[in-house]
Amino acid sequence: MSMPEEFESGGPLPELLLGYVSVRSQGGISALEAEPRALASAEPFQASSDDHEEARGALESVGLEVVGESRLGKTVAGPPGAFEELTGGKCVTREVLLHAEAGRERYVTHVDIVGPSQPDALGLAMAASEAAQIEGVLLERPRFLQALFPAPIPPSVSKFHLRVPDDVALLLGATAAHRQGYEGAGVTVAMVDSGQYAHPFFLAHGYDVKPAVSVVPGASPTRDPVGHGTGESANIFAVAPAATLHPYRASDSRGRLVGAITGFLRAKAEGPQVLTNSWGGDGPYPPAGPLDPWERVWALEIRDAVEQGIVVVFSAGNGSFAVEPQVPGVLAAGGVYATAGLDLRASDYASGYDSPWFEDVTVPTVCGLVGLRPRAQYLMLPVPPGSEIDVGESVADAGDSPDGTTGNDGWALFSGTSAAAPQLAGAVALILGARPGLTPAQVRQALVETAVDVRTGRCHPRFNFRAQSGPDFATGSGLVSAAAAVERALTF
């Protein structure tokens, strides 16, 4: 079934409309009715000073503000009621199918003025009184920037790296799942992070991103001053392109993650199938004693989400030691590094340990793709231009060379277990898309039983565990293999 090109939607009108008013042409032919060849010169369509004055008076008398003028006409702004009074028509909304940003076709809301004496052309209306010296009114139409910034396609840099979505999908075995039709459709992944910027990368790929919820008062839901949430969320879609992302911004206006627990609680209350978190605390390792009371309350809250049926993912940490990934039932996302030759080894950037607090819990559970120290510049990810990560990764730091991008191009090389968590979340979305209703324990079983064993390398030197044959503290059960996990899940 084809979609209609245009239809009246009955949607709400904007409070303010903009329009162009053509003042009576001195040449005797209205600019709105002239044949194309008559447009060879603009001079006949200029209006006299007297007519300009008449028109201005008529416009202002109905409550329209003149915001710009030329020899031909005026641009005006005002409420829909003012345009209706000027024309005697009625303002209505119409949805028009257009090629909009990034070449994507979508319905765009237009405003039209309709009535017995009004022309059919969309957005065009005639003045009710000829005395106003107005030939016609054209309502402003939505316009789109023809050049996209930042670019939806990443820049080419010389440093070895992986790209989203294709490289990440391939190495995590998701491409094979996509070919079988498993793309995570119908699964909502909530992500609590620094924010979500509307990068053209997401639009160009047609990814489904719900409007972000900002949990910190005064922080805009459309901004991401750090770039972390925006960039890492691309990992979800690399693995599960048909999933729905619901971002929760937990950072303040300076990008500090001051509302992380609030974000987790808010996301949990909405009951997503997957809740992914690329953050956590840090404390002494090994810890001096049992969990603090506040940590017990917090851990119980996380455990409660799992018991509600939400698959909760936490990053293992980049050398940090925290309670979040240790909570029983949580999928703790560790790091495996794939070389250019596709050899796999434990990432020395990722935490790995046996939980001193919870029996039978090791961190990580399984792994995603994570770079190596000193700063794990590994995945080319979309970020807000000029954001903290965009700038920070473009310059040398900690003995590491710049990533080869610029500080305001909207792309940066980074990773960390922050990338592994959304990759796992994507794999979970594939599983739940294929087998809705599986419990978090079943999802975990499918991932663990099918992960690719990693036998070389060591995790972060703070823990210094060696990867070896079979499950280990460095990489858990190994690198996620998404298609195999889906296949396993289908047998439950």
Partner 1 sequence: MSGPSPDTRGIDWPYLEAILEWGEGGVDPVVERWLAERGFTFLPMRAGLLVTGSTAAFEAAFGVDLEQVKPPVELEVPEALRAAVASVTIPPAREIHG
Our finding on whether 259 is near partner 1 (CB under 8 A) is yes
Across the strands, what pairs with 74? Answer: 21, 69
Planar angle of CA 388, 392, 254, nearest 5 degrees:
20
Q: At 304, list the tokens.
A: 């409660």
Our finding on whether 157 is near partner 1 (CB under 8 A) is no
Stretch that binds partner 1, among 7-15, 28-36, 175-183, 248-256 (CB under 8 A): 248-256
Cβ contact 433:186 at 8 Å: yes
Our finding on whether 7 is near partner 1 (CB under 8 A) is no
- Rounded Cα distance between 175 and 483, Å, is 8
Our finding on whether 218 is near partner 1 (CB under 8 A) is yes
Our finding on whether 197 is near partner 1 (CB under 8 A) is no
Our finding on whether 282 is near partner 1 (CB under 8 A) is yes
The interface with partner 1 within residues 368-397 (CB under 8 A) comprises: 375-376, 388-389, 392-393
Stretch that binds partner 1, among 29-37, 99-107, 128-136, 260-268 (CB under 8 A): 260-268
Q: Contacts by 2-9 with C-beta closer than 8 Å and gap 24+?
A: 3/97, 4/97, 5/96, 5/97, 6/94, 6/95, 6/96, 6/97, 6/122, 7/94, 7/95, 8/92, 8/93, 8/94, 8/95, 9/93, 9/94, 9/95, 9/109
Packed helices 440-450 and 417-434: angle between N→C axes, nearest 10 degrees: 110
Least distance CB 397 / partner 1 (angstroms): 10
Our finding on whether 255 is near partner 1 (CB under 8 A) is yes
Our finding on whether 294 is near partner 1 (CB under 8 A) is yes
Place of tokens 């898309």: 433
Cβ contact 248:266 at 8 Å: yes
- Rounded Cα distance between 319 and 349, Å, is 7
Cβ contact 423:356 at 8 Å: no
Least distance CB 353 / partner 1 (angstroms): 15
Least distance CB 297 / partner 1 (angstroms): 4
Our finding on whether 399 is near partner 1 (CB under 8 A) is no
Our finding on whether 134 is near partner 1 (CB under 8 A) is no
- Residue closer to partner 1 (CB basis): 67 or 395: 395
Closest alpha carbon to 196 in 219, 218, 227:
227
Stretch that binds partner 1, among 45-53, 150-158, 256-264, 425-433 (CB under 8 A): 256-264
What's the CA dihedral at 44, 50, 52, 56 to 10 degrees? -160
Our finding on whether 149 is near partner 1 (CB under 8 A) is no
The interface with partner 1 within residues 417-476 (CB under 8 A) comprises: 417-419, 421
Site residues for partner 1 per CB under 8 A: 193-194, 216-218, 226, 228, 231-232, 252-262, 265-266, 278-282, 292-298, 300-301, 303-304, 315-318, 320, 375-376, 388-389, 392-393, 414-419, 421
